[in-house]
Structure 1
């Protein structure tokens, strides 16, 4: 499974909580700072259509999903998929 979280490094409660939940579950992820990475910012806004951080993109077994904002239900779904 690949998990990427596009974040703002400061002042983003949703970013911090999302990273915390995956860390507590023992799931590795890559955090990408959208305030310093213009390509990442363009990807989440232009390609994915999001304007709110965090943006979570995960892939498992060729299937990809993504969402924007703090979403406890989606976080739980990804954690459960990882445990399978």
Structure 2
């Protein structure tokens, strides 16, 4: 499982809250600053078709989900999936 959050470092409330929710849930993620990484900017705008950050890409077992903006329902779903995986690993 990987979570990548494409962000801009300043003035992005959605970016800050998205990262905080994943951090609070103990879910590791990679943060990519689209203001300094042109390839990442092109990926989220041209390939994925988004025009606002954050963009979250969740990849689990070669199945990818992605969204743009602060989306509490999608974040909660990823946290729920990962919590179930962790519980299964502990059982």
The TM-score range, normalised by the shorter chain, is: over 0.9
Unaligned regions of 5+ residues in structure 1, if any? none
* TM superposition outliers: structure 1 runs of 4+ over 4 Å: none
Q: What CA distance in whole angstroms lies between the structure 2 residues aligned with 1:62 and 1:80?
A: 18
Q: What CA distance in whole angstroms lies between the structure 1 residues aligned with 2:81 and 2:62?
A: 13
Q: Alignment partner of 1:49: what SS? A: coil
TM-score, length-scaled by structure 1? 0.98
Q: What CA distance in whole angstroms lies between the structure 2 residues aligned with 1:77 and 1:11?
A: 26
TM-score, length-scaled by structure 2? 0.91
Q: Name 1:53's counterpart in structure 2.
A: 53
Q: Name 1:15's counterpart in structure 2.
A: 15
Q: What CA distance in whole angstroms lies between the structure 2 residues aligned with 1:56 and 1:19?
A: 10
Instruction: Kindly tell me the number of residue pairs found equivalent between the two proteins.
Output: 84
Per-residue CA shift, 1:1-58, capped at 9, x if unaligned? 1000000001000000000000000000000000000000000000000000000001
Could you tell which deviates more after superposition, 57-66 or 35-44? 57-66
Q: Name 1:30's counterpart in structure 2.
A: 30
Name the one with the larger helix percent: 2
